[in-house]
Amino acid sequence: MPRLLLIVLLVLAVAYVAFRLTRDLRGTEIDWRGIGVAAVFVALAVYLSQVAGIGGVAG
């Protein structure tokens, strides 16, 4: 029962943060190129960590 309550609270918190984020970002200009470069950099770090067996990003 406590686990279910914790999951429900976590889902509500994530939904609240997502709602606030979309409402706050609606009127702003978003730098999608910067977000894309950051996402590719993280994906490359995870990939290279898995291939080389070193690093601490994904395990």
- Plot region of 53 (φ>0 → left; ψ -120 to 50 → alpha; else → beta): left
The reported pLDDT for the residue numbered 15 is 94
CA distance 53 to 59: 9
Q: What pTM does this model have?
A: 0.48
Q: How far apart are CA 23 and CA 53, in angstroms?
A: 41
Q: Where are the domains of the chain?
A: 2-52
Condensed to tens digits (0 to 9), the pLDDT of residues 4-54 reads 889 999 999 999 998 998 888 887 787 889 889 999 999 998 888 888 877
Query: Is the Cβ–Cβ distance between 59 and 49 less than 8 Å?
Result: yes
